[in-house]
Structure 1
């Protein structure tokens, strides 16, 4: 097979022009994979969060192991407020919890707080699904480093895992045996 110089140069040039397009398609495909994977993980997180939350009797929602610690209720309220604030600020979107006064959370029944947790989990999933690929790739400062926004969603889930673990300790301090772990 005999390839002329012109044919070779045209082939190489065509390949170089196509690479950015191919790369962009691959990144978008990877980010769609992230959205699917995160949705699955986030749904499991919601299930386990609600399992832990619902094990504490309503009369013990204000339990705290020391005066300065969060109450059991506040462990979950904090997750909602902190995550919404972080995502809203970083993605420049409306924070649905921004104007809700602290007294609102203190007055909620256990059932009402469970509904708020469900609405929060649905909101985060909507945010993930509506975030454009270029936003998901944007680097953000976090915890002394930098990470792309798509990884920031996992950082927020990790924050919830921390507080859910605290809530499990609260259950044990109240002689409630936590239900088994719900993994992916």
Structure 2
């Protein structure tokens, strides 16, 4: 009976190891393409808003359109730190008001490219490493999913800003 239980445990461990490897393979094969589409969608939304409306706010205490775009970038810094252990700062918060649309687009391009490079360079063994995030243990691979989820959340808000200004929102291309 002991040998049977040991055998079942060994088989389960082996099965979970294979499934984890397949998930990592899938991530490394598919996620770069998903991130590329997210990057293009983000850029299209940011380009759609005229520069004179970059400071538009839906309500007084909310973020402006510009701040929405830079908040996505700030979150990239915050979440990537959980993958790399280093905080990469793409802009100074003190400069936000003076940043032009072109500068915001450049900052976003650099941040989104940083994530793309990080996706490509992160080894499978690192993807499966566990980190604590807001009291929850998760893999570093899951942090990449959080980066995209957060970006899409704020891009959705940005679409509302466009529509409130009678600007046609770009078609979603996240698949």
**TM-score, normalized by the shorter chain, greater than 0.5:** yes
Cα 1:117–1:151 change in 2 (3 A) is same
The whole-number CA distance in structure 2 between the counterparts of 1:89 and 1:141 is 8
Max radius of gyration: which structure?
Answer: 1
Cα 1:75–1:23 change in 2 (3 A) is same
Structure 2: gaps spanning 5 or more residues? 1-9
Structure 1: gaps spanning 5 or more residues? 1-15
How much does 1:138 deviate? Answer: 1.5
Contact 1:62-1:73 within 8 A present in 2 as well = yes
Does residue 105 in structure 1 map to residue 96 in structure 2? yes
Cα 1:144–1:24 change in 2 (3 A) is closer
How much does 1:92 deviate? Answer: 0.9
The whole-number CA distance in structure 2 between the counterparts of 1:143 and 1:93 is 18
Q: What's the TM-score once normalised by structure 1's chain length?
A: 0.78
Does residue 65 in structure 1 map to residue 58 in structure 2? yes
Flag as ranges the 4+ runs of structure 1 deviating above 6 A.
22-26
Instruction: Summarize deviations over 1:15-57 as a string: whole Å, max 9, x none.
Output: x8xx97x987875564243122110000000111111111111
What is the RMSD of the two structures over their aligned residues, measured on CA atoms?
2.4
Where 1:146 maps in the other structure, the secondary structure is: strand
The whole-number CA distance in structure 2 between the counterparts of 1:63 and 1:29 is 45
Q: What's the TM-score once normalised by structure 2's chain length?
A: 0.81
Does residue 172 in structure 1 map to residue 163 in structure 2? yes
* 1:136-155 map, 5 Å: 136-155=127-146
Of the three residues 21, 25, 33, the one matched with 1:40 is 33
Does residue 91 in structure 1 map to residue 84 in structure 2? yes
Of the three residues 113, 121, 140, the one matched with 1:130 is 121
